[in-house]
Amino acid sequence: MSLNNKQITIKKGTILFKQGDAGDCAYVVESGEVLIYLDSGDSEIIIAQINKGEIFGEMSLIDNLPRSASVRALSDTVLNVITKNQLIQRFQSADQIVQLLLKVMMNRVRKNNKSISQANSKEEVVDNGSGVFDAFENIKFENRLQEALNNNEFEMFYQPIVNSTDHKIVGAEALIRWNDPIRGYVSPDKFIDFLESSPLMISVGNWIFEKCFQDLKILKNTFGPDFSLSINVSGNQFTHEDFIMTLEQLSWKYRVDHKSIKLEVTERVMTNSTLALEILRSCKEKGFQLSIDDFGTGYSSLQYLSQMPIQYLKIDKSFVSQMSENGKVYAVVNSMIFMAEALGMEIIAEGVETVEESQLLTQLGAHLIQGWLYSKALPLHQFIKLSPFFNLVKKTA
């Protein structure tokens, strides 16, 4: 019987594999039925009867241990073959917690089978290695982040967005910070990526919106009615079923004008292009402004960009920092700005640290500037102390 084919047919009574055999593939029953059983001397102990649409033989592929039971066809049966590579790729792409749970369950099945058959061989133990440690460390870290949310350890900082033509603050990007009571402020790269990929991001994201909407009134009173706030939205939060409803509820609660809010999403959101476009269009219809963050560093194709109802493109700091010294990068930035203008979008350049970078961007037509040239991200009480206008002469000294 060759395993190179994706589908095989076995006759009634055929033993597909025996307990103790090495496992090199799994099977899904297309038609017919098979019996999973344990050999116990002269008798058989029935474990399960597998019918159409069910999978078997997968455990040996995942934990690399011998088959824990035997399989025989109860009728002429057609099987779809799943190779080890096919299964392992999907298993390894799963969340570490899911992987751990699957391994634990498989270990219990194997132990249970051994107990039933009263085998005398040494008990097999699944060696999860560092995977168990990593999985539990992730659980601990997620629990710690939940504590931080419950204990109000998160804070919102704001980095100004400045119009380079008159050096006036016209908006800000909202950035979450974690003030641990023992360690102090935790570097964002130590927790933000983890947070964005965890289920906790929905709760934290809602907290971010609520805090930003609360602060927006103070910001507008300080910097004027046209001041807008850019808020990063993770992919998990953006595609969550309650996302738009939550935005509307909080907008009503804090009397926030939708056009004062820029929702920043990354290009990775477009991996689910149909759903993303639907949500983007709904946000646009409700009056929210939309921005693509870190443009040019991710997934998005020009086809999707032309379809998205986006008002702003943010040029990533990795381009900005090189444009004055690298002609090719300069050409890329120039092309981005030209394309944005042609599509009716405005450019926001982030990570601007020098007067030269600001002047180059202004010459190319990018007038909205964000970066340390003007200010680092600050908590609200410090941010509102910034002058509404900046004097770049002081920055050249």
Does position 124 have pLDDT exceeding 60, yes or no?
A: no
Single pTM value for the model: 0.69
Least confident of 99-113, 232-246, 266-280, 288-302: 99-113
- Amino acid at residue number 320: V
* Mean pLDDT estimate for the chain: 83
Confidence label for 271 from pLDDT (cuts 50, 70 and 90):
low
pLDDT at 276: 81
Does position 121 have pLDDT exceeding 60, yes or no?
A: no
DSSP string, 313-347: EEEPHHHHTTTTT-HHHHHHHHHHHHHHHHTT-EE
Calculate mean pLDDT across residues 326-333.
93
Spatial CA neighbour of 155 closest among 385, 383, 392, 378:
378
Least confident of 25-39, 96-110, 156-170, 191-205: 96-110
How many Cβ atoms sit within 10 Å of the Cβ of residue 149? 15
pLDDT cut 90: percent of the chain above it: 52
Alpha-carbon distance of 157 to 355, in angstroms, equals 24
Domain 138-396: which CATH number of 3.20.20.70, 3.40.50.2300, 3.40.50.720, 3.20.20.450: 3.20.20.450
Does position 219 have pLDDT exceeding 80, yes or no?
A: yes
User: Interior CA angle at 170 toward 169 and 176, to 5°?
Assistant: 85
**pLDDT tens readout for residues 355-370:** 999 999 999 999 999 9
7-117 CATH fold: Jelly Rolls (2.60.120)
Calculate mean pLDDT across residues 172-184.
95
pLDDT at 98: 61
Where are the domains positioned within the chain?
Answer: 7-117, 138-396
Residues 6 or more apart whose CB falls under 8 angstroms from that of 185 comprise: 177, 178, 179
**pLDDT tens readout for residues 55-91:** 888 877 777 778 888 999 999 999 998 887 776 666 6
